[in-house]
Chain A
Amino acid sequence: NAGVTQTPKFRILKIGQSMTLQCTQDMNHNYMYWYRQDPGMGLKLIYYSVGAGITDKGEVPNGYNVSRSTTEDFPLRLELAAPSQTSVYFCASSYPGLAGTLGYEQYFGPGTRLTVT
């Protein structure tokens, strides 16, 4: 299994440009997530999805959009890039956990480093 893969690894955008960050997982996980990581701030959840066709906002969704047309793919769209969106973006996936338990863990992709200037 390749696990969680993300493309591109690096990208520089000009203010106002748009782009899509790709995320694919081959573990048949129901749940997928997008985080951004800023220095000293940990990871903040942008959007998440509990299955194909179902998405919901996380802590910091403004300026982003997502879709989940298949179990494997969960792309993140930036429509009008702003300098505040300069960050490292991580995609993750997980199983929902066994019935009657709360337990699961998230598997992370290698990240996309985005700079908006």
Chain B
Amino acid sequence: AQSVSQHNHHVILSEAASLELGCNYSYGGTVNLFWYVQYPGQHLQLLLKYFSGDPLVKGIKGFEAEFIKSKFSFNLRKPSVQWSDTAEYFCAVKVDSSYKLIFGSGTRLLVRP
């Protein structure tokens, strides 16, 4: 069965530090990849998505992610985090013609001012 792994469950950073959150999926076919963010008390919002083409995708608020097909990975990065980036981040995968998204378990990011 397809699955998505986010190995970092909790990450604590100071402001201006660089961020990289890992996401790996298990599926050998065509995938669409997403990163969603959930700020405290709010619903999930799309940060960025990969469908095809350039494997380096840029999203909102200075986030980017790189799709590395050979590693089945879609890691999220930001060069300099802010206190307002404190949130939970979810990686999600859509496989082939499926209607469904498979979510990772999430990474809670705390940015200290």
Q: Give A contacts to B, CB under 8 Å.
A: 31, 33, 35, 40-45, 48, 50, 58, 90, 92, 96, 101-106, 108-111
Contact = CB atoms under 8 A, between A and B. Distances in A.
Nearest to B9: A40
Interface of B: 4, 6, 9, 30, 32, 34, 36, 42-46, 49, 51-52, 90, 94, 96-97, 99-101, 103-106
26 contacts: A33-B101, A40-B106, A42-B4, A42-B6, A42-B90, A42-B106, A43-B44, A43-B101, A43-B103, A44-B103, A45-B100, A58-B100, A90-B43, A101-B52, A102-B30, A102-B32, A102-B96, A103-B51, A103-B52, A104-B32, A105-B49, A106-B46, A106-B101, A108-B36, A108-B45, A111-B43
Residue among B34, B36, B94, B101 with max Cβ neighbours from chain A (10 Å): B101
B105 A103 contact: no
A93 to B, nearest CB: 12
A56 to B, nearest CB: 9
A41 B97 CA distance: 25
A58 B45 CA distance: 21
A48 B98 CA distance: 12
Given A33-B100, A42-B105, A108-B43, 8 more contacts: A40-B105, A40-B106, A42-B4, A42-B104, A48-B100, A96-B99, A103-B52, A106-B101
A105 B99 contact: no
A111 B99 CA distance: 21
A90 B106 CA distance: 15
B46 A105 contact: yes
A24 to B, nearest CB: 14
